[in-house]
Amino acid sequence: MSLHVVVAGSSGFLGTHLTAALQRQGHRVTCLVRRPAEHEGESTWDPYSDVYDREVIESADVVVNLAGAPLVGNVHSKRWAQDVLESRVTTTRLLARAIAESERPAAYLAGNGIAIYGSQGDTVLTETSPSTGDALLTTVTRQWEEATTPAREAGSRVVVLRTSPVMDRRSAPLGPLTLLFKTGLGGKLGNGAQHMPMISLRDWVGAVLHLAADDDAHGPVNLCCVDTPTNAEFTRTLASAVHRPAFARVPAKVLEVAAGPMAPELLGSVNARPQALLDQGFVFRDPDVRAVVQAGLQRLDP
């Protein structure tokens, strides 16, 4: 069945690949853009001024929000932290309200992050696990998810995409890490025992396509590989894949100073499991760290 899918954040790395995959499957895609629309597949919006085309949202079968300020920036800046929060909450809330005001509320696939769980050691974390701690991204993800409330209360099928880092050498984090490891400077972060969720690009896109089409899918969904590795396991795997040693180690104290409020994302342990997708019968092409790294280095598209 062909769907009309509206995508916010379509110009980003994930949005670009998702849009292309949707079009390959024969779906009609409308991209929300912050500039004057240039062709039929675009619609201008300004989420900070509540400006959008109501007819576009009204005609949508599925709305996907991947918009948000980049996480790369001056991590010690309060302005950067505020932009990270506001860009995600504002866009999510506006689209949730737009969907809620529609006569036929579209399904809403709302971007979010795996950081919502906070650091919980070796505990296996599924979609029913609690959110703990007050790290920056954990706090952001809670408010980000809460912003979907208007759509959910209006009867929309809301899916929260709790995305882990997507590993592909054309983008961060794998791109910069590959260059670092090729120089022989790659190594563990802290003691390396922390669990580090991740997913391949083709599994991320495949999962979102699945969630867009499955009328029974709803609620939070972990987008991560089946077997979450530790940082040490990832380090060994990437070093082996690029045929370089990885003897270096970045002490936790150094990371805490250098990364500031983002340090918990590097040192915290999130042993996530994509239980909702597994229960829905989704088959991962890259279920573990070796497969994810290989797919990322080979730039395997969906």
What is the pLDDT tens value at each position of the chain, 302 positions in all?
A: 899 999 999 999 999 999 999 999 999 999 999 999 999 999 999 999 999 999 999 999 999 999 999 988 778 889 999 999 999 999 999 999 999 999 999 999 999 999 999 999 999 999 999 999 999 999 999 999 999 999 999 999 999 999 999 999 999 999 999 999 999 999 999 999 999 999 999 999 999 999 999 999 999 999 999 999 999 999 999 999 999 999 889 999 988 888 888 999 999 999 999 999 999 999 999 999 999 999 999 988 88
Which residue type occupies 199?
I
Indicate the burial class of 295 (C-beta count within 10 angstroms; 0-12, 13-18, 19 or more): buried
pTM: 0.97
Rounded-to-integer distance, Cα 74 and Cα 68, Å: 16
The Cα-based distances of 23 to 6, 9, 91, 184 in angstroms read 12, 16, 23, 41
Indicate the burial class of 58 (C-beta count within 10 angstroms; 0-12, 13-18, 19 or more): middle
Rounded-to-integer distance, Cα 265 and Cα 64, Å: 25
Asked whether 190 and 290 are in contact (CB, 8 A), the reply is: no
Which residue type occupies 292?
V
For each of the domains in the chain, give its residue range(s) and CATH number, in order of start: 4-172+197-228+270-286 (3.40.50.720)
Tokens 């042993």 label which residue? 271
What angle (nearest 5°) sits at the alpha carbon of residue 125, between those of residues 87 and 270?
A: 65
pLDDT at 71: 86
Asked whether 61 and 7 are in contact (CB, 8 A), the reply is: no
pLDDT at 75: 84
Asked whether 287 and 225 are in contact (CB, 8 A), the reply is: yes
